[in-house]
Structure 1
Amino acid sequence: MSQLYDFEINSLQGKPMNLADYAGKVVLVVNTASKCGLTPQYEGLQALYEQYRDRGLVIIGAPCNQFANQEPGDAGTIQGECLINYGVSFPITEKIEVNGKGTHPLFAYLKKAAPGTLTNAVKWNFTKFLVGKDGQPIKRYAPTTKPGQLVADIEAALSA
């Protein structure tokens, strides 16, 4: 059986991120976009990261341009949007695809392990996947679910 820690993805700077480095931590994987109506969720994600990182929470943002071209920039542009506008300090991956033939293997795994409503496709930017300390997905959250609404589930995962 696969787990989150079996995957590798490149960072926004193009360096390999071995997700095995996060073994034993709770991980929240989010497909992100800088030009989306939901982009202000970066602020809430950063707040969660600051509140819980010392207890073992890792947030991984994965930029994606598959939804209305809302992440059109290159790595430098994406980094500027995240850092300058929202002070993001959690890891951000390279721009990836979350649906279709080019789906990154990490998202293929997450979608299968935490199915969506009606279909397993990621429906929009800021779909969130909470993964437990054992590397197994716990829950998928809709794009409109605000980061603050995940607190009880994050607390439970960190206490497990």
Structure 2
Amino acid sequence: MRKFVSGVIALMIMVGLVTTVLASGRSSMPDVTFDGIEGERFRLADWSDKVVLVVNTASLCGYAGQFEEMQDLLDRYYDEGLIVLAVPSDNFRQELPTNAEVRRYCVMAFGIEDMPMAEITDVTGERAHPFYAWLRDSYDFEPDWNFNKVLLGRGGEVLHTYRSSDAPMSDTMRHDIERALRG
């Protein structure tokens, strides 16, 4: 009987170790920097004490109206610690040709003035920015269209991913953001 109990305990310990290894199999966020649309640089590690919503965007996409909701989120929750980072991308062939045109269009059409915005960046495929390559490799998440969203908690852990159709000001996203800001 003792051998059986010892065997069961050993098996439980091994299962626990395997479960721990599998659960921790996702690598921590790399120390990545996005080049800003106006020449600045955004290092995600500098926002480690913030909740960050990263959104791959495209000016000519049917979802571009979400820029307004992204700005609304930023305005509403900035003082509580939210950053919204727009990452323009032409991977789906719906972005303007230059960074200057993207910036000008977003300011004029959507009133985006103080939202951090990266330069036009690859978010899919072999040339994907290191952040998006990490998401693909560690979380099996790769944008399948414009306006996919990734919510990072304080410390950089991925809390949620959202598809294009998930509106930034939806009850679900606001609830997730509020919970992340509290925790």
1:25-104 aligned within 5 A: 25-67=50-92, 69-88=93-112, 89-104=114-129
CA apart distance, 1:110: 2.6
Q: Distance in 1 between matches of 2:75 and 2:151?
A: 17
Q: Distance in 2 between matches of 1:29 and 1:114?
A: 15
Unaligned residue ranges in structure 2 (runs of 5+)? 1-26
Normalising by structure 2, we get a TM-score of 0.80
Aligned-pair RMSD on alpha carbons? 1.3
Report the counterpart of residue 19 of structure 1 in structure 2.
Answer: 44
**SS of structure 2 residue aligned to 1:94:** coil
- Give % identity: 35
Q: Distance in 2 between matches of 1:114 and 1:54?
A: 29
Normalising by structure 1, we get a TM-score of 0.91
Higher helix share: 2
**SS of structure 2 residue aligned to 1:76:** helix
**SS of structure 2 residue aligned to 1:52:** helix
**SS of structure 2 residue aligned to 1:28:** strand
User: For each residue in 1:90-116, what CA deviation from the matched residue of structure 2 results, as whole angstroms up to 9, or x when unmatched?
Assistant: 10001111111110001112334443x
Q: Distance in 2 between matches of 1:113 and 1:48?
A: 27
Q: Distance in 2 between matches of 1:31 and 1:130?
A: 12
Q: Which amino acid aligns with 1:85?
A: A
Report the counterpart of residue 151 of structure 1 in structure 2.
Answer: 174
Q: Distance in 2 between matches of 1:71 and 1:91?
A: 17
Report the counterpart of residue 129 of structure 1 in structure 2.
Answer: 150
2:135 touches 2:142 (CA, 8 Å); kept in 1?
Answer: no
Q: Which amino acid aligns with 1:92?
A: M
**SS of structure 2 residue aligned to 1:148:** coil
1:110 touches 1:129 (CA, 8 Å); kept in 2?
Answer: no
2:51 touches 2:83 (CA, 8 Å); kept in 1?
Answer: yes
Q: Greater relative contact order: 1 or 2 (C-alpha under 8 angstroms, separation 6 or more)? A: 1
Q: From the CA coordinates, give the structure whose radius of gyration is larger.
A: 2
**SS of structure 1 residue aligned to 2:160:** strand
